[in-house]
């Protein structure tokens, strides 16, 4: 069982254009898709598509469009009523895969609602293999929310606590490092911000630099870093070394949710007892499959091609002179 928490879920609408986005002009969409969204929700959608038992926990009233959509898709979920409408996000995709996103802030959560959400997660996380804390935090929630929840989980369950994966950005992700999660899943921009690198593009251009940056997080107490590097592939860094996953170029249709699918691929492989490099291989395969699908559609395991992914192992940590 994999449990996810999405504190700031959304109804994700993706609009596909026939040509490049033209600011200030009127353009007609060629297609549109609408899905329940938010990182943890997307991860559960991908897991359920592959027959993996999961539970999506999120704030939201039973009649909210996000929860209704989850119910309609048969995604196991548990909502905490908040008497407020969840946000809507819009993604605009161009034919070359370029994606422009406009995300609403989401409804504020009171202190009592935050406490209730934490207690709900702790209750349902008992006995789970993984707890995934994912996405942005809504207004009113402190940056240390994920860090505090991780610590509370370890305190309550000790050695029986599920492993914790965190996929967020900015201050909430930075605060989570000190809590020692088992896995962080940044993209290149998030990894650069987290480690003080001014040029995120340099991490995609040089995976060894990304590995050195990730190693600083391992030294700070993080168990592993799964860094998605866009077209350059994905990187897994642990205390034992690092692995780089690459694959032939694909025709990207929409990158919305590709990183979430990558994490889902990693988790379902870990649940099956796969080795670290094979978990990375499936993560890269899932991410590529998601990027080739329209909107925020998530792939099932049988829609991925891990055989197309090459994983290169580096037994020691990267040095400054690595090429």
pLDDT digits (tens, 9 = 90+) for 213-261: 999 999 999 999 999 998 888 999 999 999 999 999 888 887 778 999 9
pLDDT at 323: 42
Q: Which residues contact 45 (CB under 8 A, 6 or more apart)?
A: 35, 36, 73, 75, 298
Q: 5: closest CA among 119, 171, 85, 139?
A: 119
Rounded to an integer, what distance in angstroms lies between the CA atom of residue 117 and that of residue 111? 10
Q: What torsion do the CA atoms of 93, 94, 98, 102 make, to the nearest 10 degrees? A: -40
Extended beta strands in the chain, E state: 2-5, 10-17, 29-37, 54-59, 77-80, 87-93, 99-103, 130-134, 163-167, 183-184, 224-228, 234-238, 241-246, 310-314
Distance CA 292, CA 251 (A): 6
User: How many Å apart are CA 303 and CA 299, to the nearest integer?
Assistant: 6
CA distance 184 to 310: 22
Angstrom distances, CA of residue 88 to CA of 37, 103, 142, 222, 236: 9, 7, 22, 32, 32
Q: What pLDDT score was predicted for residue 252? A: 83
Assign 262 to helix, strand or coil: helix
Residues, the chain: 323
Quote the pLDDT of residue 63: 97
Instruction: Catalogue the active-site residues.
Output: 260
| CATH topology classification for 2-21+28-227 | 3.40.1190
Are residues 170 and 192 in contact, defined by beta-carbon separation less than 8 angstroms?
no
CA distance 50 to 57: 19
- Listed in sequence order, the residues at least 6 apart from 254 whose beta carbon sits closer than 8 Å to its beta carbon are 14, 16, 91, 93, 97, 99, 291, 293, 294, 295, 296, 297
Q: List b or e across 228-253, with b for residues whose CB sees 16 or more CB atoms inside 10 angstroms.
A: bbbebbbbbbbeebbbbbbbeeeebb
pLDDT at 321: 45
Give pTM, 2 decimals: 0.92
- The C-alpha angle 262, 152, 6, rounded to 5 degrees, equals 35
pLDDT number for residue 316: 60
What is the rounded distance in angstroms from the CA atom of residue 311 to the CA atom of residue 191?
21
Cα angle, residue 205 at apex, residues 314 and 179 outer, rounded to 5°: 65
| pLDDT value for 231 | 82
- DSSP code, position 185: -
**Residue among 249, 246, 282 nearest 263 (CA):** 282
Residues of the chain with pLDDT under 50: 321-323
């Amino acid at each position: 069982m994999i449990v996810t928490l999405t504190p700031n879920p959304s109804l994700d609408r993706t609009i596909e254009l026939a040509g490049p986005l033209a600011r200030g002009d009127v353009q007609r969409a060629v297609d549109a898709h609408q899905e329940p969204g938010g990182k943890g929700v997307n991860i559960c959608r991908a897991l359920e598509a592959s027959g993996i038992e999961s539970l999506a926990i999120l704030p939201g009233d039973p009649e909210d469009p996000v929860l209704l959509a989850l119910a309609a898709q048969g995604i196991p979920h548990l909502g905490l009523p908040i008497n407020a409408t969840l946000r809507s996000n819009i993604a605009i995709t161009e034919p070359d895969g370029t994606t422009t996103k406009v995300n609403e802030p989401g409804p504020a959560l009171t202190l009592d609602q935050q406490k209730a959400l934490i207690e709900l997660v702790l209750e349902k996380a008992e006995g789970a293999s993984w707890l995934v804390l994912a996405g942005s935090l809504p207004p009113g929630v402190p940056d240390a929310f994920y860090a505090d929840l991780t610590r509370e989980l370890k305190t309550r369950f000790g050695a029986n606590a599920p492993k914790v994966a965190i996929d967020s950005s900015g201050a909430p992700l930075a605060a989570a490092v000190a809590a020692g999660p088992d896995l962080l899943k940044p993209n290149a921009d998030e990894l650069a911000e987290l480690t003080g690198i001014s040029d995120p593009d340099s991490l995609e251009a040089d995976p060894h630099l990304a590995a050195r940056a990730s190693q600083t997080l391992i030294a700070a107490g993080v168990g592993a870093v799964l860094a998605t590097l866009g077209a350059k592939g994905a990187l897994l860094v642990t205390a034992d070394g690092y692995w780089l996953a690459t694959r032939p170029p694909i025709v990207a249709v929409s990158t919305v949710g590709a990183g979430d699918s990558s994490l889902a691929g990693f988790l379902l492989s870990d649940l099956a007892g796969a080795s670290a490099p094979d978990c990375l291989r499936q993560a890269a395969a899932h991410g590529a499959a998601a990027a080739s699908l329209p909107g925020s559609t998530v792939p099932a395991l049988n829609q991925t091609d891990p055989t197309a992914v090459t994983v290169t192992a580096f037994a020691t940590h990267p040095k400054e002179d690595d090429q």
